[in-house]
Structure 1
Amino acid sequence: MMRCAKRLIFYKLKSLNQKSILFSLIVCLGLFGYAQDVNVSEIIIEGNKRTRTNFLKRLAFVKEGSTVDSTRIASDVRRFRLLPSVASASSKLEKVDDNNYRLVYTVVENFAIIPGLNVSQDNNDDLAYRTSVFDFNFLGQNQIIGGFYSKNVFDSYGFYWEAPNLFTRKLGIGINYQNNVLQEPIFFEDERDVKYKNTSRAFEIRLMYEHNFKNKFEFGFNIANDDYNYLSGNLPESIPETLGVDKISAVGEYEFNNITNEYQYVDGFRSIFTYSFTLHSNGDNDLLRNFFIGRNDFEYFKRIGDKGNWANRLRLGYATNDTTPFAPFALDNQLNIRGVGNTIDRGTASVVLNTEYRHTILEKGWFAMQANAFVDAGTWQESGGSLGDLIEGKKATVFSGLGVRFIHKRIFNAVFRIDYGVGIGKKANNGIVFGIGQYF
């Protein structure tokens, strides 16, 4: 009897072990099948006509043969949207078999050869203009090449070439030469109306490095000659009529970019820090020697509903040569405060806040029209002053106004803007400002 019981227990255990092994085998096989990678067997890019396919593939994180990763695909779509030649981009996966998918990127191209014309008022209340032409997709690789000519009392011109991805997907180069000749108002403590002819000739070369999708660095050198020649006004005895300086400066830029673009709409945060540090100077007077000039733009954009966009910019600037009347930061219509006038003040440090709400009031196919309401506010440190000037607000300026934008959605940066600003408080003046591209 005991022998029969033992034999029955043995058979039950044996049967149980067989079932356990079989169950474990099925689970392992299932897990093995589930764990198999799903690969991208082919990448196709559609919609690009002028932009080279191999250039876009070189920029993309996802490569043929890599594992399907939705995060990296989304990063590629965002990367394409930030290119000057791309108005919009999307992606889709098409199944080839159980373990392979075809990845299709679809891009909508911008027209990237852009003529430009800005018309404004010069410091003599005459007509000033700037005409330019730039190709933002040179050689189909989103290189930028072009130049400008401007008439603002005197003649100026410049040439540019930038190839951010020339050497690798992360490393490129930029070169530019500018010959700017302007009539500059210079402001002294007793508010004398003094005007100089400023001639600035500069050659610059930079290396551009994209560390990752969000972080970019630029570093280079600027060789410049600046001359100031007295034109008119009540000049203080301590200030010479002619000044000049030759400078070699280390220049650079750091950009953190977490921006998403979709035609005229922008969403996200961006910070751009630019600097110039004088390595060597040889001139007549220390008044022109700015040993360090730094500026940081903090930008924040937020989509509001389907047609709204809230845009903000905080601009901070500082220069170490804080005793010169030839200060680098100007209070100007086109730069920071809409409606204030054409170069009405200068400072060696500044804080400027621009905020506006943009709303699309008309959109049909390639065309869009936006209306906007804005507030521009700023404060300056006077030459010879201290950073406390920024807090005390002696030079504080606030303007508010309305504007309109006419946008061609298929042409890069084709935004014709008109803004009208009205001063609040001590700055009771007002003015109209227009140009090409969003104000910021």
Structure 2
Amino acid sequence: MKKVTLFFTFFALVVSGLSSQEYIVHDLKIQGNKKIKASFIKNISTVKSGSKLDSLVIEQDVLRLKRLPSVAHAYYQVFPSEGNQYNVFYNIEENFTLIPSLNVYTTDDDEFAYRLGLYEFNLLGRNMIFGGFYQKDIYSSYAVNFRAPYLFSNKLGLAVNHQDLTTQEPVFFEDETANYKYRNKSFEVLGLYEFNFKNRFELGINYFVEDYTFKGENINNKPELNVHKWLVKGIYEYNNLDYYYQYISGFRSQFNFQYVTSTNNMLPDFFIGWNDFFYFKRIGSKGNWASRLRMGLSTNDETPFAPFSVDNNLNVRGVGNTIDRGTGVIVLNTEYRHTLYEKGWFVLQGNAFVDSGTWRNPGGDFGDFSKEDNVKVYPGLGLRFIHKKIYNAIFRIDYGHGVTKNATKGFVFGIGQYF
């Protein structure tokens, strides 16, 4: 029956393109939705009652729906109504969207940390995200986040974030590495605007306080800081990804720029900008090649508090917790994901990866990117346990083993794909 419907849909739309008569959408109907509001889907859809029947516009709407956290899969059907009018049906397979999150990582130095959270990705049936997390990384931390991309219209939204993060951070002075208790308490407001289906922009401000407290006996009088800062943030994203359950194909680029003001000369005003390039390709019926390239620069101050870090849970699996810092970064993560077993809602996926990166030293030059001490290469293997009908329900286990100078090794656990 489904094949017959799809054939009729294709035939009707081809005929509409060849005929001199213009075909019109009589009504847009939503089927299969339980928690998602039909009014919300109609609001963000380009297809409207009375608009021209256009297969390209319909397919774009369906792709937009598949990107929503609350939608596991979506497809469309077209049926004649009366005269030159047609009814368009969007069929929705919903995700379960009240999702716990867990990230755990360890290294061969017996380091252990975790982050436990709970998020609702379809608040009030309108794909608003609300939730928070608790983190234990020697010290306790928390965050609360709210994000509503379509709060005011089908293009304009709002995000509000608050976090209070405390960690032990190594700070790299010329003569030694010192451990600090680092606390960052922030409040952030962002405006969200979608130019069109593939392009969106975020702009906002962040007020935060950074506190660096020396750990242990400070016999060399290392600096301790408590600095109030303002941050202006802009994000531009181009997204041309297509989803089919656990498989992704296409290209995505996200540029992030921040300008930070400070009230302390030890942590002066600076800018930081980076771009993440993502590329996904289907390999056969069960394979997926995924890659992420990050390139970033910041103001090149000679400071031990440089903004880019080398971190186990952010960019290089197995490397450890903030083992180095820099004012420039080039990181490439690439992996092949293969479906080992699939039955109903459950998928077991294996992956083989290589994480590699290099950093510019604070106050250094671009030649630092090629220095042996700065280059990290960590190949590894992992497993993914996936629930196809629960949003982001991907439990991952990765083991990375370094092959470059002063390498470590370790496991990284988490919810969701690494990138």
Q: Distance in 1 between matches of 2:279 and 2:244?
A: 15
Confirm or deny: 8 A CA contact 1:194 1:232 kept in the other structure.
no
What's the CA shift string for 1:212-250, capped at 9, x where partnerless? 00001000000011110100388765x41x112111111
Partner AA of 1:258 in structure 2: N
Confirm or deny: 8 A CA contact 2:171 2:179 kept in the other structure.
yes
Query: Is residue 54 from structure 1 mapped to residue 39 from structure 2 by the alignment?
Result: yes
- For 1:65, the equivalent position in structure 2 comes to 50
2:181 corresponds, among 193, 197, 207, to 197
User: Of the two, which has the highest radius of gyration?
Assistant: 1
TM-score, structure 1 normalization? 0.88
Q: Distance in 2 between matches of 1:128 and 1:339?
A: 13
Task: Name the CA shift for 1:322/1:339 in 2 (closer, same or farther; >3 Å).
Answer: same
Q: Distance in 2 between matches of 1:338 and 1:370?
A: 18
How do 1:17-416 and structure 2 match up within 5 A?
34-121=19-106, 125=110, 127-190=112-175, 192-232=176-216, 239-240=222-223, 242-278=224-260, 280-283=261-264, 286-416=265-395
Q: Distance in 1 between matches of 2:359 and 2:136?
A: 28
Displacement of 1:199 after TM fit? 1.1
4+ aligned runs moved over 3 Å, structure 1: 121-127, 232-237, 391-394
Task: Name the CA shift for 1:233/1:321 in 2 (closer, same or farther; >3 Å).
Answer: farther
Superposition RMSD in Å: 1.8
Confirm or deny: 8 A CA contact 2:296 2:328 kept in the other structure.
yes
Q: Distance in 2 between matches of 1:430 and 1:148?
A: 27
Unaligned 5+ segments in structure 1 are 1-32
Partner AA of 2:54 in structure 1: D
Q: Distance in 2 between matches of 1:329 and 1:384?
A: 13
Confirm or deny: 8 A CA contact 2:117 2:132 kept in the other structure.
yes
- For 2:15, the equivalent position in structure 1 comes to none
- For 2:408, the equivalent position in structure 1 comes to 429
Confirm or deny: 8 A CA contact 1:123 1:342 kept in the other structure.
no
Confirm or deny: 8 A CA contact 1:260 1:267 kept in the other structure.
yes
| Larger RCO (alpha carbons 8 Å, 6+ apart) | 2
Displacement of 1:401 after TM fit? 1.0
What's the CA shift string for 1:14-53, capped at 9, x where partnerless? xxxxxxxxxxxxxxxxxxx942211111111111111100
Q: Distance in 2 between matches of 1:395 and 1:178?
A: 31
Confirm or deny: 8 A CA contact 1:255 1:270 kept in the other structure.
yes
User: Percent of aligned positions with the same letter in both sequences?
Assistant: 51
- Tell me the number of residue pairs that the alignment of Structure 1 and Structure 2 aligns: 402
SS across alignment from 2:42:
helix
Confirm or deny: 8 A CA contact 1:301 1:311 kept in the other structure.
yes
What's the CA shift string for 1:73-94, capped at 9, x where partnerless? 0100100000000011101111
Confirm or deny: 8 A CA contact 1:195 1:233 kept in the other structure.
no
Q: Distance in 2 between matches of 1:93 and 1:236?
A: 75
